[in-house]
Amino acid sequence: MSSDSILVELKGGVLTLTLNRPEKLNVLDVGTRRELVSALKSLEGNHDVRCVVLASKGDVFSAGADLRHSLELTEAEARDYTMFVRSVLDYIESYPKPTIALVDGLAVGGALELLLSLDIVIATPNARFGLTELNVGLIPGGGGSQRLPRMVGIRKAKEMVFTGELISAEEALALGLVNRVVPRERLMDEATKMCQRIIAKSPNGLRLAKQSLNQSIYREMAEGLKLENSSYESVVASADAKERIRAFLEKRRAADTKGS
Listed by start position, the domains of the chain span: 6-199, 203-249
CB 130 within 8 A of CB 164: yes
CA dist list (Å): 1 to 17, 36, 148, 174, 213: 10, 11, 32, 37, 31
Distance from C-alpha of 103 to C-alpha of 116, rounded to nearest angstrom: 12
Model confidence pLDDT, tens digit, residues 46-57:
999 999 999 999
CA dihedral 128, 130, 136, 139 (to 10 degrees): 160
Distance from C-alpha of 51 to C-alpha of 122, rounded to nearest angstrom: 14
Residue ranges of the chain with per-residue pLDDT less than 70: 1-2, 221, 224, 236, 257-260
In single-letter form, the type of residue at position 204 comes to N
pLDDT of residue 259: 47
Instruction: Provide the pairing of β-strand 167-168 with 106-108.
Output: unpaired
Distance from C-alpha of 206 to C-alpha of 257, rounded to nearest angstrom: 14
Instruction: Provide the pairing of β-strand 120-123 with 51-56.
Output: unpaired
Phi, psi of 52 (to 5 degrees): -115, 130
pLDDT of residue 242: 81
pLDDT of residue 67: 87
Distance from C-alpha of 96 to C-alpha of 232, rounded to nearest angstrom: 16
What DSSP letter does each residue of 158-192 carry, written as one string?
Answer: HHHHHH---EEHHHHHHHTS-SEE--GGGHHHHHH
DSSP designation for 23: G
DSSP designation for 17: E
* Residues shown for the chain: 260
- The whole-angstrom distance between residue 183's C-alpha and the CA centroid of its chain comes to 20
Nearest to 153 by CA among 161, 163, 141: 161
Coil, strand or helix: which one is 99? Answer: strand
Judge if pTM exceeds 0.85: yes
Distance from C-alpha of 83 to C-alpha of 65, rounded to nearest angstrom: 14
In CATH, what is the architecture of 6-199?
Alpha-Beta Complex (3.90)
Residues marked as catalytic: 113, 133
DSSP designation for 24: G
What DSSP letter does each residue of 101-163 carry, written as one string?
Answer: EEE-SEEETHHHHHHHTSSEEEE-TT-EEE--GGGGT----SSHHHHHHHHH-HHHHHHHHHH
